Amino acid sequence: MDSLNPSLSASDPKAALMKQVQQEAAINNARQLISKMNSHCFEKCIPTPGSSLSSREEKCFTTCMEKYMAAWNTVSRQYIGRIQKTAGGGAGSGGDMGEFGI
């Protein structure tokens, strides 16, 4: 990818700036997902915290994380579909909100 080109910033400051903005947005998005996922899955998987994380709890956590991402993607699709309907259909490049997954 062109991000590996060290001279990019010098030769194309516009692209470099945009890349930085996009990276920060992506980090922010991921951070928010992680925070919500952590609290919801903690609620679900660790009702009574013991002295260490059991293997069952850990298994529950990974399953829960995948499920939360599936929920996020479903909500994203539904929400964007709704926005596009309200906007009168032809608006923008919808669905390009990114998907979470493994």
Binding of residue 78 to other proteins (CB under 8 A): yes
Binding of residue 29 to other proteins (CB under 8 A): yes
Helix, strand or coil for residue 97? coil
Binding of residue 34 to other proteins (CB under 8 A): no
Q: Would you say the C-alpha torsion 86, 26, 58, 53 has a positive or negative sign?
A: negative
Q: Are 100 and 69 in contact (CB under 8 A)?
A: yes
Binding of residue 20 to other proteins (CB under 8 A): yes
Crossing angle of helices 13-45 and 55-86, in 10° steps, is 130
Residues that bind other proteins (CB under 8 A): 9, 13-14, 16-18, 20-22, 25, 28-29, 32-33, 36, 40-41, 44-45, 60, 63-64, 66-68, 70-72, 74-76, 78-80, 82-83, 96-98
